[in-house]
A and B are shown apart, each in its own frame.
Chain A
């Protein structure tokens, strides 16, 4: 009898807790907020996470404490797996790797396992050659590859399957080049790729525009094309891929997402705060300083965008695999 009373009491107590939680739901967030950077400190994801932290806190959009957690490993897999089991007080930075990891067989996770909250910014990708290169535009370069693909060495880093690599696979596909024939040398990172180009070890590189911008301005290398829709500030002399007759825009976007099963209120809260953040001067300044472009989309737009991106990458991988 006593046992039953205890159980009944416990149940009532739990029910009581449930109620108070529901009331607190109106005061979300009610504890420290965590932003996961699924990489080591210093990379693009880490920088994005810390920028969001700073912009939200300095503009007093979120009054709770915000911590950045670095969880590197598996091309984002480790950090995102961690996020999967958290509540709406934890967010994680993401990029197209969330989609391509799954497509290329290195992860089971997809964007559908999470709650997309926003796309924040994008970088643009570029193709650069040495100043003394025989190729002065995209078409000359691609025709040369088409003629003898093995003879032209391409620098890429830090791994195949990233956007630097995929954007070139797509570009080559547009020129009817078999992706299997492309002669990629894989370097440790963006810096090493540029060094290899400057040292004459490779014929051209595919990398973020920010990696080669300074050297281009200094005349140490030459950017042949950029994956953006329009020409970029400070690099008005560099034509886009589109301008050079290739119907292709390729953003290297970064976004932020929450765990699965968030309530509508929680989604609405983050939607509001992140939209407000994207408007702040501080955030604009960060975007400018990092050579990013503002690319804000709210939760709903992000969902649609991720779906569209998934389809794009699927056909990209499939077409390349078919040997086009």
Chain B
């Protein structure tokens, strides 16, 4: 039941609300004004009637015909005539003339005359000779103007009677109501005009809001805000003057902006006007670097009636994607290393199988012993100078691969490394060494005496890795660009290796150097021990 009520309440349209409010307002004003008008009009009319009754009574009491009619009965028709004229010319309901207290001549509405018949309010006029107004009846609706008839007898004057002029207050109310008909008419017209106006206003408002109710707009606004905040992609909306209308938290994080940005110029907010997405000819998705982040920006214009009234910019952080793809390629590399190792062992197993089939058991045993010996020697060499297990694993993996390519991969005998600090993780190490060693192997694999040497040292404050090859070296014109993305001597679709290496080195706070001449190339990586 309550739910139903709420539903009804919330479904009251803006149109109905405006209509209801305006109607109530106009009704209130109209009723108030009409009420005040009627009240004042009534008061004025009553006052005017009182004054009229008083003055008419006095004027009559001074008229010779009136005074003489008391002595000379022949004057009575003339007196009646005067009274009838008076009733016609004024709004008085009745006139009464008394002789002493006795009714002498009356004219007008008998009902009104009867009202003063039992207790005529004439005592003060008879005793004190004064003229006045009396209001009689339960509602004081009968107005009586009283005046004494002070008859002149020559030497003296004497009060011989009174004049009463009677007004019916009910008639005054009726006339006031009649007079307020025009104002009521005007009020009704005002009411209709007001209703029409409010109807039009409501329709206009609805048109501006695309037919949405305010509560729907509020909901949309709330919804939009929440959606924008929930987006992991950054989003900036600007108006036609490139002022920021909205910037979601993700965008603020990307551009390291805090506080209110609404209304500021976008170049002010993000602090640079050189971004590609701000340029005129920007064509959709394009990558750019922002600090250590890789961002893809896209742009969409808001068009209202064919005109650009705003722009929506979205930013996707591609750094995570990159990282993932890098580690994927590292995994692939390790798998490749393992496959090469398996291949090597398989070859050796075939040698052993052949020797056994030929019944050259002695030779087979000696081959296995030699192989085992040389493997153990190598492992011992590696593990004696390089104590870090992570590094050992990488080197052993690369050894098989180099061997498959018939490239000699050696550890410089002077190498020494205790254990790597925790800040250097396996992924980073795989990226750096894997890429450098693979590149070196690739550079020399077509040579007869291809050789790759790794030197590792943790003397001093840095850890030093040096990967050398005796390949043809890097052409001088491309050496300055080898760390850039997409630059490679290996053809199209390649060229991310060294860029990734440089980035990893950067992340670990280290440095990378390269020396190259036609006799070989050496990459040196310095990684600080303490960060």
Pairwise interchain contact B127-A180, C-beta atoms closer than 8 A: yes
Which residues from B are CB-within-8-Å of A192?
155-156
A321-B123, A321-B124, A323-B123 as given contacts; A184 in contact with B130, CB under 8 Å? no
Which residues from A are CB-within-8-Å of B132?
104-105
Pairwise interchain contact B155-A160, C-beta atoms closer than 8 A: no
Pairwise interchain contact A186-B127, C-beta atoms closer than 8 A: no
A180-B123, A321-B123, A321-B124 as given contacts; A186 in contact with B156, CB under 8 Å? yes
Partner pick for A185 among B124, B126, B131, B157, CB 8 A cutoff: B157
Pairwise interchain contact B159-A184, C-beta atoms closer than 8 A: yes
Which residues from B are CB-within-8-Å of A322?
123
A185-B157, A187-B155, A201-B155 as given contacts; A180 in contact with B126, CB under 8 Å? yes
Count chain B CB atoms within 10 A of each CB in A159, A169, A187, A321 and give the residue with the most.
A321
Q: In whole angstroms, what is the CA distance A160 to B158 when docked? A: 10
Pairwise interchain contact A160-B156, C-beta atoms closer than 8 A: no
Q: Mark A131-168, 1 if CB is under 8 A from B, else 0.
A: 00000000000000000000000010001110001100
* B150 within 8 A of partner (CB): yes
Pairwise interchain contact A185-B130, C-beta atoms closer than 8 A: no
Place the interface of chain B in its size category. Answer: 10 to 19
* B520 within 8 A of partner (CB): no
Q: In whole angstroms, what is the CA distance A186 to B129 when docked? A: 10
Pairwise interchain contact B129-A160, C-beta atoms closer than 8 A: yes
Partner pick for A196 among B127, B129, B155, B158, CB 8 A cutoff: B155
Report the number of A-B residue pairs with Cβ-Cβ less than 8 Å: 63
Q: B3 to chain A: closest CB distance in Å?
A: 68
Closest to A159 in B: B129
Closest to B152 in A: A186
Pairwise interchain contact B128-A104, C-beta atoms closer than 8 A: yes
Interface SS of chain B: helix, strand, loop or mixed?
Answer: mixed
Partner pick for A104 among B101, B124, B156, B159, CB 8 A cutoff: B124
Q: Mark A172-205, 1 if CB is under 8 A from B, else 0.
A: 0000000110111111000010001000010000
Which residues from B are CB-within-8-Å of A169?
127-128
Which residues from A are CB-within-8-Å of B123?
179-180, 320-323
Q: A200 to chain B: closest CB distance in Å?
A: 12
Q: In whole angstroms, what is the CA distance A59 to B217 when docked? A: 95
Pairwise interchain contact A184-B158, C-beta atoms closer than 8 A: yes
Closest to A179 in B: B127
* A286 within 8 A of partner (CB): no
Pairwise interchain contact B130-A180, C-beta atoms closer than 8 A: no
* A106 within 8 A of partner (CB): yes
Which residues from B are CB-within-8-Å of A104?
124, 128, 130, 132
Pairwise interchain contact B124-A160, C-beta atoms closer than 8 A: no
Q: In whole angstroms, what is the CA distance A104 to B124 when docked? A: 8
Q: B160 to chain A: closest CB distance in Å?
A: 11
Q: In whole angstroms, what is the CA distance A192 to B130 when docked? A: 22
Residues of A within 8 A of B (CB): 104-106, 155, 159-161, 165-166, 169, 179-180, 182-187, 192, 196, 201, 317, 320-323
Show 5 residue pairs from A and B whose CB-CB distance is below 8 angstroms, ordered by the A residue.
A159-B129, A180-B127, A186-B129, A186-B159, A322-B123
Known pairs A161-B128, A180-B126, A186-B159; list 12 more (Cβ under 8 Å): A104-B124, A104-B128, A160-B159, A161-B129, A165-B128, A169-B127, A186-B157, A192-B156, A201-B156, A320-B124, A320-B128, A323-B123
